[in-house]
Structure 1
Amino acid sequence: MAEIILLHSAQGLRPGVAVAAETLRAGGHTVRTPDYYDGEVFADIESGLRKRDEVGMEELARRFRAIGGEVSGPVVFAGFSLGAYGAQLLAANHPMARGALLFHGGVTVDEVTDGAWPRHVPVQVHHSEGDPWVDEGEIAELAAAVGPGFEWFTYPGEAHLFADPDLPGYCETSAKLMWERVIAFLSRI
């Protein structure tokens, strides 16, 4: 079983993150859900992005690294949207990283590290086919950089955070399939 650090989206540490953590715990994993947004939670993406811009990406990267600094054993970094950026940053640079789960996001390798993607760190990406916040070109570049340890799954629709049961874009069928794929990924690590 894996230790998982699960990072929330720009909307903050919403109840949907707790649901996701419980889904992973039901699979036998240890899950931590740190809050890197000062306890603030937002009802919509735009408000959450204002918070992101107020804090700034440099400070967010520092906060993500501080979260990584609390890890002392093998870990899988996971995150939703903006949290996927944090998970990818940590997975690319943390010596104990054993995997990355990127939900509704992902960037090119050069956005998170000055080096190559570590070959021992597999990556799994999940997003809606028409997600306006996901750049498929960047995901394709990430796939090429990661190599054979990369898995990429798309789901019908355009909802950004389709796996969050408290948001309007929630799709139970897609969320269920996503979590099945995630549990299978974790079983191989």
Structure 2
Amino acid sequence: MTEIVMFHHVLGRTVALEQIAERLRAAGHQVHMPDLFDGHTFESVDEGKTFVESIDDEELLSKAVAEVQSLPADVVYLGFSLGAALAQYLVQNREGAAGGIFMYGCVAPEVFGDWPDRVPVHIHAMEDDPFFVDDADAAKALDAAHEKVSLFLYPGSGHLFLERGHDDYDADAAELALSRIDSFLTSLEIVSN
């Protein structure tokens, strides 16, 4: 069993993300899913972004850090878009991370400090996702520079392509990404046993 902390995107803690968490739990993992928006959810990325802009970045980061304080160090940080940045921050700044999975986003690592070479990380996004364009160079550079970082690009332009019920949802890409995540988490279990 792998312990996972899953950070939501700008739509908040949606039903689709809950379903992904349940799939991971059904595979035997323990999933923590903090609600950083205190119950607020949004129908569109624009609405979510407007809400996020009303929150201080440091406040959001502090909430994410506070959510993991009582958890063991050796967790996997899984984040979606906005949540990917939070997951990446914790991978880089909380000692002992077992792994990271950054969905739809990646920050230039120097923003958060040194890169931990020992931590395996997956990055997943669609090739023509307009929201990922600014992150693509950082993701490609990490993939090229670090043996334990793997970047997976899927054909298409949807941002929230795992978000069942959203216009961006792509069933084939979602299933492929989830199967890769399953394999990644299984590989971490094998290494730790």
Give, in whole Å, the separation in 1 of the partners of 2:71 and 2:19: 22
Structure 1 residue 155: deviation in Å?
0.9
Amino acid at match of 1:64: A
Query: Where do 1:31-70 residues align within 5 Å?
Result: 31-70=31-70
Q: Is the 8 A contact 1:100 1:123 kept in 2?
A: yes
8 Å CA contact 2:73–2:94 kept in 1: the answer is no
Q: Deviations over 1:132-158 (max 9, x none)?
A: 11121121233345x100111011110
| 1:162 lines up with 2:161 in the alignment | yes
- Which SS does the other structure have where 1:101 is aligned? strand
User: Could you tell me how far apart the structure 2 residues matched to 1:143 and 1:92 are?
Assistant: 15
CA contact (8 A) 2:75 2:98 kept: yes
Deviations 1:20-57 (A, max 9, x none): 10121122111111101121101000111111111121
Per the alignment, residue 191 of structure 2 pairs with none
Q: What's the C-alpha RMSD, in Å, of the aligned pairs?
A: 1.2
Greater shift in the superposed pair: 70-79 or 179-188: 70-79
Stretches of structure 2 lacking an aligned partner (at least 5 in a row): 189-193
Question: Is contact 1:25–1:31 with CA below 8 Å preserved after alignment?
Answer: yes
Q: How does 1:37-186 map onto structure 2 within 5 Å?
A: 37-113=37-113, 116-134=114-132, 135-144=135-144, 147-186=146-185
- Distance in 2 (CA, whole Å) between partners of 1:143 and 1:52 is 29
Q: How does 1:11-50 map to 2 (within 5 A)?
A: 11-50=11-50
Structure 1 runs not aligned, ≥5 long: none
The number of residues matched between the two structures is 186
Give the distance between the partners of 1:184 and 1:72, measured in 2 at CA.
22
Distance between the aligned counterparts of 2:185 and 2:174, measured in 1?
A: 16
What SS does the aligned partner of 1:148 have?
Answer: coil
Q: Secondary structure at the match of 1:91?
A: helix
**1:107, 1:142 within 8 Å by CA — same for their partners in 2?**
no
How much does 1:160 deviate? Answer: 0.3
Residue identity over aligned pairs, in percent, reads 35
Match for 2:131: what amino acid?
W
TM-score (normalised: structure 1): 0.94
1:141 and 1:111 map into 2 onto residues whose CA distance is: 14
